[in-house]
Amino acid sequence: MKIKYLGTAAGEGIPALLCNCEICEKSRALGGKNLRARSQSLIDDILLIDMPPETYSNFHRYNIDLLDIRYWLITHTHSDHFYKDELAYTSNGVYAHHSDDWHGIDIYGSIDLKESLDKIINTEKHKKYMRYEPKLPFIKFTCNEYDITPLKANHGTENPFIYLIEKDGKTLLYAHDTGLFLEETLNYLKTSNLKLDLVSLDCTAGSMMDYHYPLHMCLGWNIKCRDELLANNLADQNTKFVLNHFSHNGTDVVYDDFRIVADKYGFITSYDGLEIEL
């Protein structure tokens, strides 16, 4: 299994619009890995996670064809992860023109998405190719080669998810956006008998050791999560821990600065375009 990080920022992006804070100015000046689009990831080139406003530009940036995507996971309804209006332009015969035998895309997420998707994907032809199936937390489902379990996230929408993704004996925990794990989510993990190969953790607040906002994480809370996973035999020395989803409101979140801090604690710092094989 392979993960590619297409975007790695929180809702404002880095640098943010109309912002000349120190983080944004330094990131703008340095360029390269210091420039972050809003968070989105791609698994094995066919399983896409989230739909930020940069989805269109990301496909050009990384030479990805949406027609090759088979499955789409949505974590929650905040617009930096679910920019729903973009789906209107996937309607075949109106805005898009693809062959009638195209496999289409299966979209998965919580019941929160249903009302929005029903308004946009509202013709029989559109529904044929863009198929939505709401899921429940802690209920594993299978799509093609993947076993996927939505877990409850600690975030600010009604039914936000983080995802366990399993394939060919490899397991990835994709934990964006969330604060410290909810007790029921941690209990599910403890009873899963899984060994996590990669854990992607929210690090919105950067190198802070504590954070006033409970619905995202900081480096100190990432350390706490890792320690808990290790203590419960869910991870070991071979597990890759990646920190992702950075906000310009955080501390030391310029990539060149944060990577030095993260390296000291044994974490991988994400950047747009990072690819990791499990």
Encode pLDDT of 147-193 as tens digits. 999 999 999 899 999 999 999 999 999 999 999 999 999 999 999 99
Edge-to-edge strand order for the sheet containing 170-175?
A: 141-143, 146-152, 161-167, 170-175, 198-202, 240-244, 268-269
Residue 197 half-sphere exposure toward CB, CA atoms < 13 A: 14
Band of residue 276 on the pLDDT scale cut at 50, 70, 90: very high
β-partners of residue 200 are 174, 242
Q: Which residues contact 97 (CB under 8 A, 6 or more apart)?
A: none
User: What is the pTM (predicted TM-score) of this model?
Assistant: 0.97
Q: Tell me which residue has tokens 């597990």.
A: 239
Q: Which residue has the higher pLDDT, 83 or 92?
A: 83
- Range of the structural domain that residue 99 is part of: 2-271
The first and second tokens of residue 277, run together, are 């094989």
pLDDT of residue 71: 98
Rg, Å, the chain Cα set:
18
Provide the phi-psi class of 151: left if phi over 0, else alpha when psi is between -120 and 50, else beta: beta
pLDDT digits (tens, 9 = 90+) for 189-247: 999 999 999 999 999 999 999 999 999 999 999 999 999 999 999 999 999 999 999 99
Q: CA 229 to CA 248: how far, in whole Å? A: 28
Q: CA 232 to CA 244: how far, in whole Å? A: 23
pLDDT of residue 266: 98
Q: CA 268 to CA 200: how far, in whole Å? A: 9
Q: Are the CB atoms for 222 and 176 separated by under 8 Å?
A: no
Q: Which residues contact 44 (CB under 8 A, 6 or more apart)?
A: 1, 2, 167
pLDDT of residue 93: 86
pLDDT of residue 94: 86
Q: Residue 276 domain-assigned?
A: no
How does the average pLDDT of the chain come out, rounded? 97
Q: How is 170-227 classified by DSSP, letter by letter? A: EEEEEE-S-SSPPHHHHHHHHTS----SEEEEE-TTBT-SS-S-TTS--HHHHHHHHH
Q: Are the CB atoms for 240 and 276 separated by under 8 Å?
A: yes
Please report, for the domain that includes residue 218, its CATH number: 3.60.15.10
| Number of structural domains the chain divides into | 1
pLDDT of residue 92: 87
Q: Residue 128 domain-assigned?
A: yes
Residue 164, number of CB atoms within 10 A of its CB: 22
pLDDT digits (tens, 9 = 90+) for 103-132: 999 999 999 999 999 999 999 999 999 999
Q: Residue 278 domain-assigned?
A: no
Q: Residue 78 domain-assigned?
A: yes
